[in-house]
Structure formats: structure tokens, C-alpha cells
Amino acid sequence: MHLIPMRLTTFTDFSLRMLIHIALKPQGRATIAEVAQAYGISENHLMKVAHLLGQAGYVTTLRGRGGGLVLARPATDITVGEVVRRIEPDLALVPCFAKGDCVILPACRLKHALHAAREAFLAVLDATTLADIAVPDAELRGLLGIAA
């Protein structure tokens, strides 16, 4: 038996917000400072998010003047499930005995149910693409202060 920490951290939250923001920009380019301001969140933290998104191959990061972030793959090709799996640290398949503190592990049936439930959770997110959640309508752009 074990505990599946399935909390989505703000790190993952910010990752998704950032991708949405970039996808909504007419030219498809945004800077960290711009996203941080739009959502009123920490620029420092966002920088780390941006870096990881770059390393994971979701965005291309451009340094220097006129730089910023650009989607590295089409929005229709990036699923929410994929991003969550990649960004959320504890969603990775961790052996239940990571802490080795459960006695009935070998015979634990709850483990299977929890695993199946988690897969069902991710399956729904796998069916949702960035294009689905970043529809460039006027309302969304308005709320984010993005000119059409």
C-alpha cells in the first residue's frame, strides 16, 4: 500500500499557463516578464518553468534582445497529459515502497486500484491538446492583455 502524491504543483500550473499564453500570442512569441505580469506571478519561478519547458522540447528559448519563448511543436501536437507527466515530479512511476514503510505491500490490492485510477486521470488529459485549451477568442485574449 502506498500514497500517490497527485497534487499538481504551481510549477505545473505555471507551465500550462505559459504554454497557453505563448499559443495565444499572434506572433507566437512571449517573454517571461510578459507572462509573469499577465498572471501576476513570480518572474523568478517562471524563469525556471521556462527553462524546463525548453529542456523538455515544448518551447524554444531565445536569449538576448528580441528573444523570448516560442512553441517548438504545434499546439495541436502537445497534450496536457504529456506536459503533466513530464513536469510533475511525483507523477512518475515511483515504486510504492519508495519509503519502504508499508507492511502489506506484497499483497496490496489497493495499489492496483490506485494505479488504474491514475492512468484514467492521465488518459483524459492525454486527450486534451494545447490547441484545445488555448483557443484564441477575444475573451481569453482580453483577460490576458494580448492584442489580437
Partner DNA sequence: CCTAAGATGCATTATCCATACACCTTATAG
Partner DNA sequence: CTATAAGGTGTATGGATAATGCATCTTAGG
Tell which positions 82-101 bind DNA, by CB under 7 A.
89-90
**Segment holding 141, helix H or strand E:** helix 138-144
Which residues sit opposite 71 in a β-bridge? Answer: 59
Residue 103 CB, nearest approach to a second copy (Å): 5
For the chain, the straight-line distance linking the first and the last C-alpha, in angstroms and rounded, comes to: 51
Should residue 73 be labelled a site residue for DNA when binding is judged by CB under 7 A? no
The alpha carbon of 146 is separated from its chain's Cα centroid by a whole number of angstroms, namely 21
DSSP state of 106: G
Chain positions 104 to 123 lying near a second copy, rule: CB under 8 A, are: 104, 106-110, 113-114, 116-118, 120-123
Task: Assess 135 for contact with a second copy (CB under 8 A).
Answer: yes
Q: Does 65 bind a second copy (CB under 8 A)?
A: no
Question: Binding residues for DNA, per CB under 7 A?
Answer: 5, 7, 9-11, 31-33, 41-42, 44-45, 47-48, 50-51, 54, 61-69, 89-90
